[in-house]
Amino acid sequence: MRKIVRMVAVSVLLVLVLSPLAAQGVTEKQEIKVLVLGMFEVGENKGDFAGEFQHFYEEYLDGAPAYTLNEMPLTLYVNDNGVAGAIAGMGKAQASATLTTILRDGRFDFSNTYIVISGCAGMAPERGTLGDVVIADALVDVELGHAWKESDNPADSPTMFLRSSGYDRAGYIPLNKGLANWAFELTKDVELFDDRAAATYRMNYGPQEATEKPSVQMGVSVTGDNYWHGKASSQHADVVTAAYNGGTYMVTQMEDNAFGVVALNEGKLDRLIVVRDVVNYDQPYPGQTVLESLDASSGAFAIGMKNGFIVSKMIIDTLVNNWDLYKEVTPSL
């Protein structure tokens, strides 16, 4: 009898001791409403010449808790209102690793998160102008396929083709068209910045480019780890995009398909929004070499950073300010 009483007493004591500890260990995950990613920063996160992340940091994340997630170091900032942001790194490998690491961090609830990618891009001069902002409705990887040097092939023949349907999943990623249309309609009339230096540089390409002002557009974003440049490369990007029945591309960059694949893998593709601002033409003007074009300053970088932020901010604020609705219902036209 004495033994039974002792066992009961020990059991009660253990319950009394362990219950508060268990309660302390149960912490509610912070809900992330919007995750915004830029690819690089020029200097500091605030107070100097802005790269892709600075405007977002200054607007939403200055003073917010910072979490170091890996050895990059990947730092995720999270404010009290559920807006998170990070510098993802450049290129497909780093971009995919970053987004995967963030989405799999158990301290946060990404169940209903919208992912906003905001960064700079190139554009063919006949499709828009310096300072434009393009909201992507599809992503195409121009490097997946079978390729060879032009010098190793007969003249006037292609230098790449898509031989296997196994490339399709990562090579062509249609985004949520309804969400892209919603984002475009929301932002299409926003007044964007322009710059005299950019206007002057446009004149090298032709009268049409010289008179254009930045605006919001929508279309295909093409991805390549190579920072390619030149008219023939632009034509090649069109060939690959057309092979996926994607039409013509609007902007070119180095990460979007990587983000798209991760979003697809993690069940987040329906809420992926890609915003790209145009800071350079992806080919030289008449009489200019490719190397000269790569080294030239178009005057559009600063306005691109501002314009991409303006458009992205309107999207982010609309989602957060109407969270009771958009938490469960993805906006669409």
Sketch the domain layout of the chain as residue ranges: 29-326
| Gap between the Cα atoms of 295 and 283, Å rounded | 12
- Cα 109 off chain centre by: 20
What separation in angstroms does the CA of 18 have from each of 15, 22, 26?
5, 6, 13
pLDDT at 20: 44
- CA distance linking residue 197 with residue 300, whole number of Å: 8
Q: What are phi and psi of 126, to 5 degrees?
A: -80, 0
Residue 8: per-residue pLDDT? 43
Q: Which CATH architecture has domain 29-326?
A: 3-Layer(aba) Sandwich (3.40)
| Interatomic CA distance for residues 22 and 2, integer angstroms | 30
pLDDT attached to residue 6: 53
Tell me: the pLDDT tens digits for 306-325? 999 999 999 999 999 999 99
Check whether 78 has a pLDDT greater than 90.
yes
pLDDT tens readout for residues 160-200: 666 666 777 889 999 999 999 999 999 999 999 999 999 99
Q: Is the pLDDT of residue 243 over 50?
A: yes
Q: Cis before residue 73, ω within 30 degrees of 0?
A: yes
CA dist., res. 187 & res. 331, Å (int): 14
Could you report the per-residue pLDDT of 53-74, keeping only the tens digit for each? 999 999 999 999 999 998 878 9
